[in-house]
A = this chain, B = another copy of it.
Amino acid sequence: MRLRLTPRDTSFFDLLAASAAHLVTGANLLAELLGAERPARKAIAKQLVEVEHLADDATHTIMRRLNQTFVTPFDRDDIYGLASALDDCMDFMEEAADLIVLYKLEELPARVSDQVQVLQRAAELTADAMPRLRSMEDLADYWVEVNRLENQADKTHRKLLAQLFDEITDPILLMKLKEVVEKLEDAADAFEKVANTVETIALKES
């Protein structure tokens, strides 16, 4: 139980939901990029940069409003943490896409697609959950499932790392692939951080 003044500024919910919606677009573009031939990838990566800019604007709007609002719907620090973590999800996905193009990577191991599928699923769950912050209802399923997905992503990541070191003999190619794979793992961690922050908020409100 915590004391609170009314009215809450409800627009934070809309802003967070908008920010999370960009993640779905971003994750889908990343999947599209993986499936595309090398020449087509540059254009997709460029689209992802544009989505990343939109997400960036959304984050800045949240931060600005946060700093100018006296009463927030829940802890100021938690909204800040949520917006930052959503921003991180997008940044890591964009960086992964950029590196795939920059490093002129050809075919990527099948497990990289598994990593990206987890990100697509995590993005959908996150975008679905954000509007429910308003009522604080039915959120537990979301964070439990994202934590499960992150565990799965972590296992895929470690297997993929072992596979790369077993199969790739060109050290420079290995460096490139390892960096892409790590950015995707960072993205999965960032989605988990979003879910953990939502859990924190829900526990404080309960």
A residues within 8 Å of B by Cβ? Answer: 1-2, 63-64, 67-68, 70, 77, 98, 102-103, 158, 161-162, 165, 169, 171-172, 174-176, 178, 200, 203-204, 206
B175 touches A171 (CB 8 A): yes
- Expressed in whole angstroms, the Cα–Cα distance for A200 and B178 within the complex equals 36
Q: In the complex, are the beta carbons of B98 and A158 less than 8 A apart?
A: yes
Question: Is there contact, CB below 8 Å, between B174 and A172?
Answer: yes
From A65, which residue of chain B is reached at the shortest CB distance? B203
Copies of the chain in the assembly: 3
Contact A165 B176 (CB under 8 A): yes
Given contacts A68-B203, A206-B68, contact A102 B161 (CB under 8 A): yes
- Whether A63 lies near B171 (C-beta < 8 A) is no
Most buried by B among A98, A169, A175: A175
A203 to chain B, nearest CB (A): 4
Contact assessment for B67 and A203 in the assembled complex, using a CB-CB cutoff below 8 Å: yes
CA distance A201 to B162 in the complex (A): 42
A165 near B206 with CB under 8 A, answer no
Contacts of A171 in B (CB 8 A): 171-172, 175
Q: CA A2 – CA B76 in complex, angstroms?
A: 14
Residues of B near A2 (CB, < 8 A) are 70
Contact between chains at B172 and A63 (CB < 8 Å): no
Q: Contact check, B67 vs A204: say whether CB atoms are below 8 A apart.
A: yes
Q: What are 9 of the A-B contact pairs (CB < 8 Å)? A: A2-B70, A63-B200, A64-B203, A68-B203, A98-B158, A171-B171, A171-B175, A174-B175, A175-B178
